[in-house]
Amino acid sequence: MTKSSFLRSRWFEDIPVGEFHVFGSYTFSEQELIEFGELYAPQVYHTDPDAALDTRYRGLIASKWHVCAVWMRLMVNYMENYAMGVEDGRRNGAGVRIENLELLVPVKSGHTLTFSHEILEKPDKVIRDKWGIIRSRNEAFNHRGDLVLRFVIDILAERAPK
């Protein structure tokens, strides 16, 4: 983690539509599934391995919001590496909108997901004088090659000073 007070990013203008990256993989453990479930998603199929066997999932599964949180962690790591050496003060912005977020296949303990993202478009809109919107399609595939997670997200990126 950087010691600076913000995470760096490329300028809005320097992020090309069509860019595609596989940006990380993650293996979920049973303990992590239960910890997240107990804090935020207390259904038995997220918190109790035995009781989960009697549900439609036939075992413990990750909360959709847990899988999304892991996406965020891998994205932060990726952005850190991508903007390594950038020292001119530009910074990344916030996520503002998500569309069509779906968890299509259950994620169980021991499953490994591989995350990718593709820049779809840069809507022609300026926010608070200095931010542009980067729209990306994000997907995760499991170890069997099944598409597990997908969503489209709009994230702010700082525009280069004129």
Contact 98, 54 (CB under 8 A): no
Residue 7 in the binding site for another protein (CB under 8 A)? yes
Compute the chain's Rg from CA coordinates. 18
Q: How far is the CB of 20 from another protein (least distance, A)?
A: 23
Cβ nearer to another protein, comparing 119 with 152: 152
Cα–Cα dist 9/11, whole Å:
6
Helix axes 30-40, 64-82, angle to 10 degrees: 110
Residue 94 in the binding site for another protein (CB under 8 A)? yes
Cβ nearer to another protein, comparing 15 with 79: 79
Please name every residue paired with 154 in a beta bridge, in sequence order, or none if there are none.
97, 135
Question: Which residues would be at the binding site for another protein (CB under 8 A)?
Answer: 1-2, 4-7, 36, 39-43, 45, 55-57, 63-66, 68-70, 72-73, 76, 91-103, 128, 131, 151, 156
